[in-house]
Amino acid sequence: MSLQPTESIWHNGALVPWQQATVHVLAHGLHYGSAVFEGIRAYSTPNGPVIFRLEDHVRRWLQSARIYRIPMPFSAAELEAACCEVVRANGLTNAYLRPIAYRGLGGLSVSPVDTPVEVAIAAIEWGAYLGKDALKHGVDAAFSSWIRPSSQSTPLMAKASGHYLNAQLIADEARRNGYGEGLALNAHGQLSEGAGENVFLVENGVLETPPQSASVLRGVTRDTVMVLARDLGLEVTEETIARERVYVADEVFLTGTAAEITPVRQVDGIALGEQCPGPVTCALQSAFFGLFDGSTPDRHGWLCPVGAESPEASAPDGRAEPRVCASV
């Protein structure tokens, strides 16, 4: 899917025209992958556009920066406000936000000492990540010949650009072999995650997902699904999962900001369950997308209204004031 340019991108503290949001060819981040980023979605709702779990995404972004010792030159509040500003400024309602902090032009030594940190936030229109029909009819997945690295070599709790070389190998191998997405095992041969998604299995009505120690990113959507499932009265466990458990699961689905909740139809050519999406996947999709059409109440305070231009925008008297992002 090619990118549709928007009017502006937030770059180092201000909105700049799309064409001017550029990076030097000798930027450290470009050569060594020293960048930390997020993927965040904004959704249209009956009460105006909202950013989903903005605070949690910005928190993870800052944690990724801390793990890689990248000094972030903006506070969480400033970054949250900037995310809202870039959605508003481009007149978007449904959007995918791509915040990134990267080491810029400094030295060329691998050690990043003295490289300045630059920060950008883009918001674009982006449809279903794994294809138009994937949310409805599922994707066919395959285990990759590439494995997820251990956290002893790359700290996978950080969402860092360099980690995505491994993800590219997994995703590209799957697509070249005719699959919608690749699944990875970890260094111990257990289920880890998809190239850009966490994985859930459903067996006998119980949801299972690999723990963080299985070399997975601590996904915000993964957490959302666990909370929504428990709200629906379902049991959820985080467990080490052997590869063959995937083949015998009643349902398998992928979660991610981009992929949302995407059912998996078959893995390595083995059809899963009796129907796709299965009943648990359907119930979770309804609960998740219901957050944006109002049919699921926002019990957990996950929807951050993008707000009006004015930072003073506030609720009418007598109502709890919504968390509206201010302008920076």
Ligand X SMILES: Cc1ncc(COP(=O)(O)O)c(C=O)c1O
Looking at 193, 208, 250, 251, which residue binds ligand X (CB under 6 A)? 193
Contacts of 236 (CB under 8 A, 6+ apart): 206, 207, 208, 209, 226, 229, 230
**160 is a site residue for ligand X (CB under 6 A):** no
Residue 180 is a binding residue for ligand X (CB under 6 A) = no
Q: Please state whether beta strands 40-43 and 95-103 pair in parallel, antiparallel, or not at all (unpaired).
A: antiparallel
Q: Which of 98, 159, 222, 265 is catalytic?
A: 159
Distance CA 248, CA 171 (A): 23
Site for ligand X in 220-249 (CB under 6 A): 220-222
The CA-atom distances, in angstroms, between 183 and each of 146, 172, 229, 266 are 9, 11, 23, 12
Dihedral angle of Cα 247, 248, 251, 254, to the nearest 10 degrees = -30
- In the bound state with ligand X, the residue whose beta carbon lies nearer, of 182 and 273, is 182
Binding test (CB under 6 A) with ligand X, winner from 196, 273, 277, 305: 196
CB of 266 vs ligand X, minimal distance in Å: 21
159 catalytic? Reply is yes
| Among residues 104, 182, 219, 263, the one that binds ligand X under rule CB under 6 A | 219
Q: Which stretch binds ligand X (CB under 6 A): 87-95, 195-203, 233-241, 275-283?
A: 195-203
Task: Return the range that interacts with ligand X (CB under 6 A); candidates 7-15, 28-36, 114-122, 213-221.
Answer: 213-221
The span from the CA of 122 to the CA of 6, in Å, is: 9
Beta bridge partner(s), residue 305: 50
Query: Closest CB to ligand X among 162 and 311?
Result: 162
Name the minimum Å distance from CB 313 to ligand X: 28
Burial grade of 63 (CB within 10 A; 0-12, 13-18, 19 or more): middle
Catalytic residues: 159
Binding site for ligand X (CB under 6 A): 39, 167, 193, 196-198, 217, 219-222, 255-257
